[in-house]
Amino acid sequence: MESSADPRVVLMTAPDDEVAERLARSFVSRGLAACVNRVPGVTSTYRWKGEVTEDAEVLLLIKTTAGQLGALEMAVQAEHPYDVPEFVALEPASVGAPYLAWLQSSVQEGEGE
């Protein structure tokens, strides 16, 4: 049975490090995420408006809980500059107990939005 405290990792891209930093700080400061890793130097190839295109982006790995996914997704929709921002939530197969306890205590359940 799923619990609101179950860990989730959300994949999201941003157009540059300035936007990635702004989003990461917003999500963590508001208790929507425990941690956001910013991975620069990603090149994304995708189809947009009928054309295949490539862009340099920053990948964000957002650590949160199942209970905060809805509020996090709403924040992404409100704050992200893309028309269709990436929001892919993954359920980890395993998370170390000390890290999981820290993650859960860092995310303020129900206080995101």
- Note the pLDDT tens digit of each residue in 5-14: 999 999 999 9
Contact criterion met (CB below 8 Å) for 19 and 81: yes
Taking 80 as the threshold, does the pLDDT of residue 111 lie above it? no
Per-residue pLDDT reduced to its tens digit, 34-92: 999 999 999 999 999 999 999 999 999 999 999 999 999 999 999 999 999 999 999 99
Strand pairing report for 88-90 and 35-48:
unpaired
For the chain, give every domain's residue range: 7-106
CA 21 to chain centroid, in Å, comes to 12
Q: What angle do CA 14, 65, 104 make, to 5 degrees?
A: 120
Question: Which residue, among 43, 12, 7, has the nearest Cα to 26 in the 3D structure?
Answer: 12
Smallest CA-to-CA distance from 57 within 20, 89, 22 is with 20
Q: Which CATH architecture has domain 7-106?
A: 2-Layer Sandwich (3.30)
